[in-house]
Homo-oligomer: A and B are copies of this chain.
Amino acid sequence: MTARPHDDPHVVIVGGGFGGLYAAKTLAKAGANVTVVDARNFHLFQPLLYQVATGGLSPGDIASPIRSVLKRAHRARVLHDEAIDVQAHERRVLLRDGAAALDYDLLIVATGSRTSYFGHDDWAVRAPGLKTVEDAIEMRSRVLGAFERAEMEPDHVRRAALLTFVIIGGGPTGVELAGAVAELARSALARDFRRFDPRDARVLLLEGGERILPSFPPELSARAVRSLEHLGAQVWTGAMVTDVDGEGVEVRRGNASERMAAATMLWAAGVTATSFGEVVATRFGATRDRGGRMRVTPHLTLPGRDDVYVIGDLALVDGPGGRPLPGVAPVAMQQGAYVARRILGRTEGPFRYRDKGQMAVIGRNAAVCDLPLARFSGFPAWVLWLFIHIAYLIEFDNKVLVLVQWAFAYVTRERGARLITANPR
């Protein structure tokens, strides 16, 4: 069995996230005939999106045009279009705008995930998720707008609701958002208002499970709670959100149910497959888990389909111990590079994830790191987090800029990108 149907296959990659772009870079460098299709013209450095949502960075700081990443590869094409369907028999991807369809010899499906509200899609307008630049801008406008409205609100009950920020979901994104909003209130905005003290803002992180950061060891979850509390945030575990409306949230803890008035609710509780991922699963009859992820072979192809690879958040792959690999950037990057190497005939074996550990940042000088050889938290974890993210950003697109902004923010405790802009929806 070979992964190359003929000598110079046309590889179509749908999605320019970590998985798709790492595959594209490796293939393009080898001179392969590759086309990347993405509905957006830029690759987004998702792990830092929460900093855009909280005014620390601008979208441009964490976005790289897919074209410039591939501009030196003359046989690599980039199409700024949305893949809407796939014809298995014809080996063809249908695009929304493109006049012609796109024929492939090999297809890499890497469109990732989108926010899921577990059947409560009406919550989306009340509690935005954090997957796109527009999401981040929306969150930023809501968070900063709540403080602004509080300054104009004479009624102290309504003001308290305006100064209550509920973050739903205790995974890394929820923890990072809670930490960043708490820090925003306590440092960057500390002296900005006259009618209230922003340090009185209530930041509440709700997690349905037993502990936040469930993929981390328990002691690091506990450390994260302490760090968040140190920043003035509160953490509720075993707290199921049963309703989200214009006035706040309803939360059930054990048998007790409680309403909480809040103007700002941020959703970090779950993701599911993108719509193109769903279409692919349907067309090829793939087996999916509850989160919409497709079961793939050890070579990351769909079973019985040597010409279709699925990588990143869309792929269900068992890691060591039989637990599925998480939907995080390092997994997607390694899968992208693996698939490219396989297509180039450079590897025959199955995909193996090299687990370099996981980390989550809580705020200034505070993070948790769970590495294969060590677990630690606090300042050293934060320095390591910083170092790794800067290294990736610089390797990827020379985003030295972010370093300068962080250095500046660290010294001044300011946030440089505090814009409330028109609702982009």
Which residues does A use to contact B, with CB under 8 Å? 40-42, 55, 57-61, 63, 65, 67-68, 71-72, 74, 77-81, 97-100, 133-134, 137, 144-145, 148-149, 151-154, 188-189, 191-194, 398-401, 404-405, 408, 412, 414, 416-425
- Does the CB pair A416–B134 fall under 8 Å? no
Across-interface contacts of A149 in B (CB, < 8 A): 80, 97
* Given A42-B420, A78-B151, A99-B152, 7 other A-B residues pairs in contact with their CB atoms under 8 A: A41-B144, A41-B145, A61-B416, A67-B193, A77-B194, A98-B152, A401-B416
Cα A122 to Cα B412 in complex, Å, equals 46
A145 to B: closest C-beta gap in Å? 8
Across-interface contacts of A153 in B (CB, < 8 A): 99
Across-interface contacts of A425 in B (CB, < 8 A): 422
Cα A98 to Cα B153 in complex, Å, equals 8
Cα A420 to Cα B408 in complex, Å, equals 28
| Contacts A419-B59, A419-B63; A97 near B152 (Cβ below 8 A) | yes
Q: Which residue of B lies closest to A417 (CB)?
A: B60
- Does the CB pair B41–A154 fall under 8 Å? no
Which of A57, A67, A144, A194 is packed against the most chain B CB atoms within 10 Å?
A67
- Does the CB pair B418–A41 fall under 8 Å? yes
Q: Which residue of B lies closest to A56 (CB)?
A: B60
- Does the CB pair B151–A79 fall under 8 Å? yes
Q: Which residue of B lies closest to A67 (CB)?
A: B192
A233 to B: closest C-beta gap in Å? 22
Q: Which residue of B lies closest to A158 (CB)?
A: B99
Q: Which residue of B lies closest to A60 (CB)?
A: B417
Across-interface contacts of A97 in B (CB, < 8 A): 149, 152
Cα A134 to Cα B71 in complex, Å, equals 29
Cα A412 to Cα B401 in complex, Å, equals 14
- Does the CB pair B59–A134 fall under 8 Å? no
Partner of A58, one of B59, B193, B404: B59
Partner of A191, one of B42, B72, B137, B400: B72
- Does the CB pair A68–B192 fall under 8 Å? yes
- Does the CB pair B418–A421 fall under 8 Å? no
Cα A341 to Cα B133 in complex, Å, equals 43
Across-interface contacts of A414 in B (CB, < 8 A): 68
- Does the CB pair A99–B420 fall under 8 Å? no
Across-interface contacts of A401 in B (CB, < 8 A): 401, 404-405, 408, 416
Across-interface contacts of A42 in B (CB, < 8 A): 418-420
Across-interface contacts of A416 in B (CB, < 8 A): 60-61, 399, 401
